[in-house]
Structure 1
């Protein structure tokens, strides 16, 4: 099963959330709509600024675990390299 690691934020260089899912489009929609009383809802994390696809969900889970333990600056660097504008990538999801 394919897995996705993703980062959500509320604004450029704002609060970050790192997550993992097997259905990125659905999960990003859940964040955007604030469906759950959670960290992402509390901080308004509605902008998908980075995602990575993995052929096996177990690899995605390991990557998420690693990124969650990174210093904040490393996460910001990761986003800046892939998405320097910090554009919301949700509308680009075509799968």
Structure 2
């Protein structure tokens, strides 16, 4: 009954059956804007274009507030291979596309 009261789900419900994160169902999207000279860390996107890495929050955490999610994602970023190689990290609402916060590094 409580599930019907909230559209926020702990599971992927777009049909992709993602287990941990989902580009459609996760609440927060983090874009890592890399410094010049780190193009080798960019990911290959559509048509072979190189794009900055994008992370999504864990689906199991979708019910937490945006600040909690941003803090957890930033903490994971600081321990990643991208730490020290980025100019900025932007956090967006994955449902509205609005910028939540931007952290200059």
Per the normalisation by structure 2, the TM-score is 0.35
Structure number with higher relative contact order (C-alpha < 8 Å, ≥ 6 residues apart):
1
Q: Report the structure, 1 or 2, having the larger strand content.
A: 2
Larger Rg: 2
Q: Report the structure, 1 or 2, having the larger helix content.
A: 1
Per the normalisation by structure 1, the TM-score is 0.37
